[in-house]
A and B are shown apart, each in its own frame.
Chain A
Amino acid sequence: MIRKELVAASAEPMILSLLAKGESYGYAIIQEIKARSGGKLSWTDGMLYPVLHRMERRGLIKSRWGESETGRKRKYYSLKKDGKAAMAKHHEQWSLVHAVLSGLRKERYV
């Protein structure tokens, strides 16, 4: 399992990147992150919603109420313009971290 500090730090870029593919809702976001990480990147399900609400208030994402296939009410989230910019910034920063770590790792084995 991945440390909770890293999971918390990666929550926003993960959500933004998922929503960049199209609108989604809380449960689907969690399931997709779990599936993509092979279950290694997961947080307590309920913790996702305060993060989503905070991002909505910061103007990164927006929401609308819709209906599921079974007729149940469901809150869908989608990316806003500021969210796209924030996502680009996150990608740049995480890529840099990844590049530095990869470089250091390679040097160790040279």
Chain B
Amino acid sequence: MFDLEQSIAEWRAQMLAAGIKAPVPLEELENHLREEIERQMKSGLSQQKAFEISLLQIGRPEILGHEFEKSEGTLTKKIGIFAAIVGAVIISRILTEHPDAAHLRRNEQWEWLFTGGAIVFFGLSNALFYFESSDSQNVRRWKMIGIAYSTFAIWLWAVPICLLLTVPRFSAAVGMTERIFVFAAMAANVLSILGWRKCAAILPVVRHQRTRTMVGIGGCFLGLIFIALCFFMRPLHFSIGIILGLCTLVMASVLSGAGYGLEKAAQEHSLTNS
């Protein structure tokens, strides 16, 4: 005897096995399947026949799974998570073997620590932010670079902000104005990530890809200089140092988005005029 609910449960299991694990698409697909079964049954088919025809209509699980994977960017997320884990393993291994900063410097492990950090940020930016499948390879590449840069800039400032809020010696040295600056700069940093999406509308359309790439690289290079300045500055006053440092990181964060903005603007323009 055919059991419709049992058959639908088995179909759901096949969908899950094919990689459609998110509840929303699965529920939508099941609702679709049920509506199609009802329609087929109204036209006089038996429950079993209606189910079989509806299954064919909705598509094979592996093909749908592949399509959803492309659409949801699941593969990109998996690569991102894997990269983040690799980076975290590198960092934790170095920190375990070299317990303090002096030891790290003596054994020339800073580069590896920095590389580990960069891999973690690359992975997280891949895993946490969605890359539209309609975007070209160049747009995706620059978007990822921009997000990784900005996240890195925020991370660099997470440490002094924690010090500012928790260590009394630092906390006492910083007034209300400086604190407002610190949080305003953090907000600007975060907004620079979100603002890139709208950059295409205001940026000029640069037709030559080589020029766009050069501007993007230039932006990142300038950003690196700003980050380096932030480390090597020896300001007269602690609070001035905080503000200057924040400004440099915000600049780095915004500049690294230039490549993304230009690529996006060029893509939008070519789509409109194609």
Indicate if the CB atoms of B32 and A46 lie closer than 8 Å.
yes
Which residues of B have CB within 8 Å of A49? 25, 28-29, 32, 68
Indicate if the CB atoms of B72 and A44 lie closer than 8 Å.
no
**Interface positions of A (Cβ within 8 A of B):** 26-27, 30, 44-47, 49-51, 53-54, 57-58, 68, 72-75, 89, 93
Indicate if the CB atoms of B132 and A46 lie closer than 8 Å.
no
Which residues of A have CB within 8 Å of B64? 44, 46-47, 50
Residues of B in contact with A, size category: 20 to 34
Question: How far is B68's CA from A44's CA once the two chains are assembled, in angstroms?
Answer: 13
Indicate if the CB atoms of B31 and A47 lie closer than 8 Å.
no
Also in contact, A73 and B31, with CB within 8 A (given A44-B63, A54-B71, A54-B133): yes
Question: How far is B71's CA from A103's CA once the two chains are assembled, in angstroms?
Answer: 37
Which of B59, B70, B272, B274 is close to A46, meaning CB atoms less than 8 Å apart? Answer: B59
Indicate if the CB atoms of A58 and B132 lie closer than 8 Å.
yes
In B1-55, the 8 Å CB interface with A consists of 24-25, 27-29, 31-32, 34-36
Which of A27, A51, A58 is close to B36, meaning CB atoms less than 8 Å apart? Answer: A27
Question: How far is B130's CA from A75's CA once the two chains are assembled, in angstroms?
Answer: 22
Question: How far is B135's CA from A58's CA once the two chains are assembled, in angstroms?
Answer: 10
Which residues of B have CB within 8 Å of A50? 25, 64, 67-68, 70-72
Asked if B134 is an interface residue, CB under 8 A from chain A, the answer is yes
